[in-house]
Chain A
Amino acid sequence: MSKALRAARERQAGWIVAGVVSVVVAAIAGLAFGPVSLPPGSVAAEVLNLIPGVHMHSGLDEREIAIVTQIRLPRVVLALLVGAMLALAGGCYQGVFRNPLADPHLLGVAAGAGLAVTAVIAFRIGSGTSGGDVTSGLPLTTPVAAFAGAVGAVALTYLLGVAGGRDRSPATLILAGVAVSAFLAAGQTYVMQRNVDAIREVYSWLLGRLATAGWHDVLVILPYALVTGAVLLLFRRELDVLSVGDDEAASLGLHPQRSRYILLAAASLGTAAAVSVSGLIGFVGIIVPHTVRLLAGASYRMILPLSVLFGAAFLAFTDLVARTVASPAEIPIGVVTAFFGAPFFVLVLRTTKRVSL
């Protein structure tokens, strides 16, 4: 048995290595390719040159170095962070709800952010103080509104779910999330219908975007990413314990209710931060943890860290596709993730034996 155990441990280490390698490959590809394609080796050398004390000769000229380090690098880092957070939060939601189809937008994050952003955009256009066109970037208030809307919606879901009765099961929380999402989506539809001018801009946000100017967005979400990542990775064993049922978890000395709320709060915060800078990028939170589960086993102690790595790599790669496939135009990244995600979703539906709430 110890041989089998060692083999299992080695396989797990192998998956971690594979995850790290895929992050590096996706990041280098994201930095090297675009309207101007650069040799990946030189790009890697330039990235290493950012480390103080390292001086490598990359053979790139000054303009090319600027493209890599000032234009592409912030965007690739943002893609890595957003992908990691969405996948991590998705894996966490699936564990907490014991539902393989749970996604990080389940508790109202998407609807809350959607309504808030729609309101901000519509109000700005309606009041005639619009600054610039759609392509020049959304105003600073959009991420703030998205974040506030997302957090507010989850808080509302939580209040309704807990106040909804003595039944504090995860299913009650999901149903509260459905109710809150439907309510907010109705509000969003109303605002959009009253302000048709805003529709184009709202859609560009809804479909997800990673267009950045410099490091601002990265710095905005970095603290949330660190908090969410730390909490979820520290609590990942508790997710495994929760998977055997609330009674069992309680008899093993856990406080299932409390663990669940801590995990959900951290995952929702991270999702809200990701949504605030990137809009609604779907499917990452479902595809990535699922693939990891199929490949590396059902323990959340593996699923969560691997979701961070593969989620980061996946979004960096999709972003590369989104901005190169129809170059010079960009396809909204949400369209690309959904393009890969939808067929995968069907596959999951067909292969999952039981979908339990």
Chain B
Amino acid sequence: MNALEARGVRVTLGGATILDGVDLTVAAGEWVAVIGPNGAGKSTMLRAVGGLLPAAGAISIFGTSTGRLSRRQRARLVATVAQSPVVPAGMAVLDYVLLGRTPYVPPLGRESTADLAAAREVLTRLDLHRFARRELATLSGGERQRVFLARALAQGAPLLLLDEPTTALDIGHQQEVLDLVDGLRRDRGLTVLATMHDLSIAGEYADRMVLLAGGRVAASGTPREVLTEELLATHYGARVRVIEGDHGPLVVPVRSTASGA
């Protein structure tokens, strides 16, 4: 069964068409990266899948149309880590991660010991247990990103949506976070749909890539099929050289020869 199946997704915001009939299929257990130039609609696509904005078209998650899912049901199937989540002042890491259990806490109720156990298990898995009582706001960027991830994992949802999960991180922490996501995907059989900025890194981790441009799918397939000099030149307006790496193609920007000094 596919984790996600989207057909003809259209999103209009303030009169502008952001997504114009996007088809996207993600098989269970797969890591699919959504790439594309700024304004291509990557984040909007993720928000549409996550149910955060109204979208026309058909989206089904693990075989169920999202229209037939309540908000709580959807929250048990899909967890989202936004690009730069709000860091609430004064909130401790454990309390933040516990909020991930919201879809399981009865309305107007409180967390059970099972919820607490789930949050602790995630903290341990992500090597965050030392920070449990620390204030989230006092952590470094890489640590915070792990906490955001922990909150999403505590949700226990099999489909994980990550919007630019490594934007604010240095190269070492980028790898650390993505290795972690990859490990979790294998351990827990998660499916990952992530928008990614860095094309080489996206190619290293993703099974498949979808290139969005102007609200439409411009190309999709394996990293080797999508990360080509022609496609990147056409849709990003970028001069790049694509080099064969160990796990996939590496994209290297090159300076224009015409303007050489």
- A residues apposed to B, CB below 8 Å: 1, 4-5, 8, 98, 166, 234-235, 237, 240-241, 243-245, 247-248, 250-255, 293, 297-299, 301, 353-354
Segment touching A, from B29-37, B56-64, B102-110, B209-217: B102-110
In the complex formed, the residue of A with least CB distance to B124 is A1
Establish whether residues A251 and B85, one from each chain, have CB atoms under 8 Å apart when the complex forms.
no
Establish whether residues A253 and B103, one from each chain, have CB atoms under 8 Å apart when the complex forms.
yes
Per-residue A-contact encoding for B93-123, CB less than 8 Å = 1, 0 else: 0111001101101001110000000001000
Complex-state Cα separation, A293 to B89, whole angstroms: 10
Q: Beyond A8-B133, A245-B82, A298-B90: 9 further Cβ-contacts under 8 Å? A: A1-B132, A4-B133, A98-B86, A241-B102, A244-B86, A244-B91, A248-B80, A253-B70, A301-B110
Contact partner, B52, options A8, A237, A251, A301, Cβ 8 Å: A251
Give every chain B residue within 8 A of A4 (Cβ-Cβ): 132-133
Give every chain A residue within 8 A of B6 (Cβ-Cβ): none
Segment touching A, from B71-79, B237-245, B251-259: B71-79
Number of A-B contacts (CB under 8 A): 87
The residue among B52, B78, B79 with the most chain A CB atoms within 10 A of its own CB is B52
In the complex formed, the residue of B with least CB distance to A231 is B108
Complex-state Cα separation, A299 to B72, whole angstroms: 22
Contact partner, A255, options B50, B52, B71, B88, Cβ 8 Å: B71
Give every chain A residue within 8 A of B72 (Cβ-Cβ): 253
Q: Does B51 contact A (CB under 8 A)?
A: yes
Establish whether residues A253 and B82, one from each chain, have CB atoms under 8 Å apart when the complex forms.
no
Per-residue A-contact encoding for B214-257, CB less than 8 Å = 1, 0 else: 00000000000000000000000000000000000000000000
Establish whether residues B85 and A250, one from each chain, have CB atoms under 8 Å apart when the complex forms.
no
Q: Does B145 contact A (CB under 8 A)?
A: no
Give 27 CB contacts A-B under 8 Å: A1-B132, A4-B132, A98-B86, A240-B95, A241-B102, A243-B86, A244-B85, A244-B99, A244-B151, A245-B85, A245-B86, A248-B80, A248-B82, A248-B85, A248-B151, A250-B71, A251-B50, A251-B78, A251-B80, A252-B102, A253-B75, A253-B76, A254-B71, A298-B88, A298-B90, A298-B91, A301-B110
Complex-state Cα separation, A248 to B152, whole angstroms: 10
Give every chain B residue within 8 A of A8 (Cβ-Cβ): 133
> Dominant SS at the A interface?
loop
Complex-state Cα separation, A305 to B142, whole angstroms: 35
In the complex formed, the residue of B with least CB distance to A95 is B88
Q: Does B14 contact A (CB under 8 A)?
A: yes
Establish whether residues A299 and B91, one from each chain, have CB atoms under 8 Å apart when the complex forms.
yes
Establish whether residues B99 and A241, one from each chain, have CB atoms under 8 Å apart when the complex forms.
yes
Contact partner, B88, options A243, A247, A252, Cβ 8 Å: A243
Complex-state Cα separation, A166 to B15, whole angstroms: 12
Establish whether residues B52 and A354, one from each chain, have CB atoms under 8 Å apart when the complex forms.
no
Establish whether residues B88 and A166, one from each chain, have CB atoms under 8 Å apart when the complex forms.
no
Complex-state Cα separation, A237 to B107, whole angstroms: 9
Q: A237-B105, A248-B86, A251-B52 are in contact. Are A1 and B120 (CB under 8 A)?
A: yes
Establish whether residues A166 and B105, one from each chain, have CB atoms under 8 Å apart when the complex forms.
no
Complex-state Cα separation, A233 to B103, whole angstroms: 19
Give every chain A residue within 8 A of B103 (Cβ-Cβ): 252-253
Give every chain B residue within 8 A of A248 (Cβ-Cβ): 80, 82, 85-86, 99, 151
Per-residue A-contact encoding for B36-66, CB less than 8 Å = 1, 0 else: 0000000000010011100000000000000
Establish whether residues B82 and A247, one from each chain, have CB atoms under 8 Å apart when the complex forms.
yes
The residue among A4, A251, A299, A353 with the most chain B CB atoms within 10 A of its own CB is A251
Say how far A66's CB is from chain B's closest CB, in angstroms: 43
Establish whether residues A253 and B102, one from each chain, have CB atoms under 8 Å apart when the complex forms.
yes
Complex-state Cα separation, A123 to B117, whole angstroms: 64
Contact partner, B90, options A1, A244, A297, Cβ 8 Å: A297
Give every chain B residue within 8 A of A298 (Cβ-Cβ): 88-91
Complex-state Cα separation, A297 to B71, whole angstroms: 29
Complex-state Cα separation, A237 to B108, whole angstroms: 7
Establish whether residues B99 and A240, one from each chain, have CB atoms under 8 Å apart when the complex forms.
yes
Establish whether residues A237 and B110, one from each chain, have CB atoms under 8 Å apart when the complex forms.
yes
Give every chain A residue within 8 A of B90 (Cβ-Cβ): 293, 297-298
Q: Does B155 contact A (CB under 8 A)?
A: yes
Complex-state Cα separation, A166 to B53, whole angstroms: 13
Q: Does B129 contact A (CB under 8 A)?
A: yes
